Structure 1
Amino acid sequence: MKKTTLSSLLTLLLSTAPTTTAQVTGSPSGFAAGTTGGGNATPQTPSSLAELVTWITDSTPRTILIDREWNFIGTEGTTSSQCCSNQITVCAGGTSAGQAWIGDTCDDGTWISCTYDNAGQSPLDVGSDKSIVGVGSAGVLRGKGLRVRGGNRNVIIQNIHVTELNPRYVWGGDAITLDGSDMVWIDHCKFSLAGRQFIVSGWGAAGRVTISNNEFDGVTSWSAGCNGRHYWTLLLIGEEDWYTFQGNWVHDVSGRAPHLGTDYTDSRILFHGVNNYFQDVGGHAFDVDTNTWVLLEGNYFDGVDTPVTGGTLSSGALVYNVPTVDSASACVSSLGYICEWNRLAASGSWPSLAQQAVLDTFSEYTDSLVDAYGVADVPATVVANAGVGKI
């Protein structure tokens, strides 16, 4: 019998090891449970920017591995034009530069010269049945976002850093757009340096969405609040949407963190926010408009100026934020469990919002409600797990 040496054993192991280095990790809970993305499609790594674009946008089910930084800046040219400079551009006495506005009108300011990258304003339209997955901590999309729209569905975006979408200009670009979509799982991603929203829904339905374990990093040199913190965090205003927002780290932002709802359309939005860590928010976190049902459990607000805006209280929004022990116990009859309370540290006031209509509505969706763990563990747990390279 031939003797097996250590070197031959290693050669054998390497020759029989899978060539794929990454694929989707885990599966979504909450409202997007059942989302499979590319399913059993063999994971593939694109070899060029053109191939990446084709794979993301075509109609073939795929698992697409992002094992490097794909830089779109400069690939579609630039536009030199006039942008609107107003009070959020000058930032007199502020700690950062402001943001000028890309647009056609300038009623409250003056025109200034500006040049912005075209790729940031034209996101890639993600086809149905796609998994877009970062490898380790290497997966970066620089200068271009992703958009799921037009009836496309069953999409997983995991472990990707989307960044540098014309951050000095409002309307410079959105990182993730959902409009006429369904069954979308956004997990373990990082968002930074966008001109506009990190995640935004259009006027159409976003559908069933789970946003979990992401890092929303608002540190910027160009801030609408003149404070070095990004304002345009999440704008969720779709026509018929169900969101699970779980385990996310939202830090160094100043607004729309998130904004929910609108009276512009007959939208209907259900939002379950569980075990998220809001840290160093120099402005407002939740800003909730009408046509919304919001259940907040086990969220930790640390250094948040305004955890819930005053406008939320008068907008017609329906919110259950577990303000008392009795309100936590009151969840049992509708949801079957005691709700986890929310905690504030060095933050603004936490208004008492406990509309029974929220529990009545969510009682129809108990299979889609995720379990909360103790709120005291949120800061350490979320920081250790949220963002890229942590799965």
Structure 2
Amino acid sequence: MRKHTLLLSLFGLAVSPAQAQVKGTAFGFATGTTGGGSATAAAPSSLAQLKQWITDSTPRVILINRTWDFAGSEGTTTGQCCSTRTTTCSGGSSAGQASIQTTCDDGTWVSCTYDNAAKSPLDVGSNKSIVGVGSSGVLKGKGLRIRGGNSNVIIQNIHITNLNPQYVWGGDAITLDGADRVWIDHNKISLIGRQFIVSGWGKGGHVTISNNEFDGKTSWSSGCNGKHYWTLLLLGLEDWYTFANNWIHDVSGRAPHLGTDYTNSKIFFHAVNNYFQNVGGHAFDIDTNTWSLLEGNYFSSVTTPLTADSLTSGALIYDVPTVDSAGACNAYLGYICEWNRLSGSGTWTARTDTAVLTQAASLKQYLISHIPVADVPTKVVAAAGVGKV
């Protein structure tokens, strides 16, 4: 990082070199991810320049020091959306979500108008750092997508929000599809029409998702309960995830969903010290072709911490339910795992597939340490999200 004291005047906001770089170093499965590296940090001067810098092939450190509002920038579409029982919401604490789709066999058509920009994410080029300045960095009405073999991307300290939140299929915040080496850190995601983070059928690759706030509070909910359902859907062909120190709150499903039998997908997922709060539905929903090591996670007012389907899907899970199961990690991993804690939540069914520890043993260089689970609510809330790097 540069140590001189030159200040960059960007839209009237002085940004020092200390503010203008990625904070910290990628860890876990994203170890070695450098993003734009030592490229000179700069803030774009227009929406067009922002798009160019994010999507081109030049290594860049792109500063987001304001709200970039894409709403209306690509026009709107007025047409028909599918309305089902989850759209009208008889009772409940929110309106529902109609679906932007081409068929409506299970509902009726209703008129709808949605913003086009949210449905076409920006394709992030390789070797990019997209970094928010202070708490000012906002991408409004547009998501990010890493695909086509692009890699070495850091997304840090950005708030991604307002992607057609009233409509299912209204847009995804972050998409991985044919990617590798991605660090998603200290961001906030809210008011998204579909997935907060989603992988396609291609590789997600080596990914660390850390210190993020997933805020599901919404006025439009498929569960009619004011909580967003579509949280994280991870289906990649060959993926390794570190999911650490995230605050997932006021959601109702896919928090996260892992795995699929649609392809020969293989996913290893290490979830450490995440805080699940006010989940009016399910947190972990784990399908086949997965190895999940779940340790030191705290569930507060979570209806279903682990779905029943996870136990019969063919998923391999080690969820550290007892002191003995925590100690058993030592022989494989060289440390004692941290147990998971529940407060006012549903059942955490014991599952201790040793195949997960065997797989984890071959990946020890990517496994990260934990803090005591009792400290998770206070420390995670204090550190997760924007403006806290």
Interval of TM-score (by shorter of Structure 1 and Structure 2): over 0.9
Partner amino acid for 1:353? Answer: R
Does the aligned pair in 1 maintain the 2:189–2:196 contact within 8 Å? yes
* Percentage identity across paired residues of the two chains: 71
Matched length: 380
The reply to whether residue 26 of structure 1 matches residue 29 of structure 2 is no
SS of the residue corresponding to residue 186 of structure 1 reads strand
Give the aligned partner of residue 7 of structure 1. none
The reply to whether residue 140 of structure 1 matches residue 142 of structure 2 is no
Give the aligned partner of residue 262 of structure 2. 264
Q: Distance in 2 between matches of 1:253 and 1:18?
A: 35
Runs of at least 5 residues in structure 1 that lack an aligned partner in the other structure:
1-11
Q: What is the CA deviation profile of residues 82-114 of structure 1, one whole-angstrom value per residue up to 9, with x for unaligned ones?
A: 000001101101110000000000011000000
Q: What is the CA deviation profile of residues 163-192 of structure 1, one whole-angstrom value per residue up to 9, with x for unaligned ones?
A: 000000000000000000000000000000
Equivalent of 2:187, from 189, 199, 208? 189
SS of the residue corresponding to residue 89 of structure 1 reads helix
Give the aligned partner of residue 3 of structure 1. none
Partner amino acid for 2:23? Answer: T
Q: CA deviation at 1:14?
A: 6.9
The reply to whether residue 308 of structure 1 matches residue 306 of structure 2 is yes
Does the aligned pair in 1 maintain the 2:7–2:16 contact within 8 Å? no
Equivalent of 1:122, from 113, 120, 126? 120
Judging changes above 3 Å, is the alpha-carbon distance between structure 1 residues 365 and 82 closer, same or farther for their aligned structure 2 residues? same
Q: Give the TM-score, by structure 2 length.
A: 0.96
Q: Give the TM-score, by structure 1 length.
A: 0.96
Q: Distance in 1 between matches of 2:168 and 2:59?
A: 34
Give the aligned partner of residue 289 of structure 2. 291
SS of the residue corresponding to residue 107 of structure 1 reads coil
Give the aligned partner of residue 6 of structure 1. none
Judging changes above 3 Å, is the alpha-carbon distance between structure 1 residues 326 and 184 closer, same or farther for their aligned structure 2 residues? same
Does the aligned pair in 1 maintain the 2:5–2:16 contact within 8 Å? no
Partner amino acid for 2:234? Answer: L
Matches within 5 A, 1:266-281: 266-281=264-279
Equivalent of 1:336, from 330, 334, 337? 334
Equivalent of 2:360, from 351, 359, 362? 362
SS of the residue corresponding to residue 105 of structure 2 reads coil
Q: What is the CA deviation profile of residues 233-266 of structure 1, one whole-angstrom value per residue up to 9, with x for unaligned ones?
A: 0000000000000000000000000000001001
Partner amino acid for 1:177? Answer: T
Q: CA deviation at 1:385?
A: 0.1
The reply to whether residue 234 of structure 1 matches residue 232 of structure 2 is yes
Matches within 5 A, 1:1-391: 19-20=16-17, 21-391=19-389
Judging changes above 3 Å, is the alpha-carbon distance between structure 1 residues 109 and 44 closer, same or farther for their aligned structure 2 residues? same
Q: CA deviation at 1:46?
A: 0.5
Give the aligned partner of residue 11 of structure 2. none
Query: What is the Cα-based RMSD across aligned positions, in Å?
Result: 1.4
Q: CA deviation at 1:22?
A: 1.9
Partner amino acid for 2:177? Answer: D
Q: Distance in 2 between matches of 1:136 and 1:112?
A: 42
Does the aligned pair in 1 maintain the 2:165–2:191 contact within 8 Å? yes
Q: Distance in 1 between matches of 2:192 and 2:305?
A: 23
Does the aligned pair in 1 maintain the 2:320–2:326 contact within 8 Å? yes
SS of the residue corresponding to residue 331 of structure 2 reads helix
Q: What is the CA deviation profile of residues 215-246 of structure 1, one whole-angstrom value per residue up to 9, with x for unaligned ones?
A: 00000000011000000000000000000000
SS of the residue corresponding to residue 362 of structure 2 reads helix
Q: Distance in 1 between matches of 2:317 and 2:377?
A: 23
Q: CA deviation at 1:23?
A: 1.1
Q: Distance in 2 between matches of 1:23 and 1:71?
A: 23
Q: Distance in 2 between matches of 1:375 and 1:87?
A: 39
SS of the residue corresponding to residue 330 of structure 1 reads helix
Q: Distance in 2 between matches of 1:388 and 1:81?
A: 36
Q: Distance in 2 between matches of 1:323 and 1:19?
A: 47
SS of the residue corresponding to residue 165 of structure 2 reads coil
Does the aligned pair in 1 maintain the 2:173–2:189 contact within 8 Å? yes
Q: Distance in 2 between matches of 1:39 and 1:370?
A: 23
Q: CA deviation at 1:364?
A: 0.2
Q: Distance in 2 between matches of 1:259 and 1:206?
A: 14
Q: Distance in 2 between matches of 1:129 and 1:115?
A: 36
Q: CA deviation at 1:13?
A: 7.0
Partner amino acid for 2:281? Answer: G
Q: What is the CA deviation profile of residues 44-86 of structure 1, one whole-angstrom value per residue up to 9, with x for unaligned ones?
A: 1101111100000000000000000000000000000100000
Q: CA deviation at 1:15?
A: 7.7
Runs of 4+ in structure 1 off by over 6 angstroms are 12-18
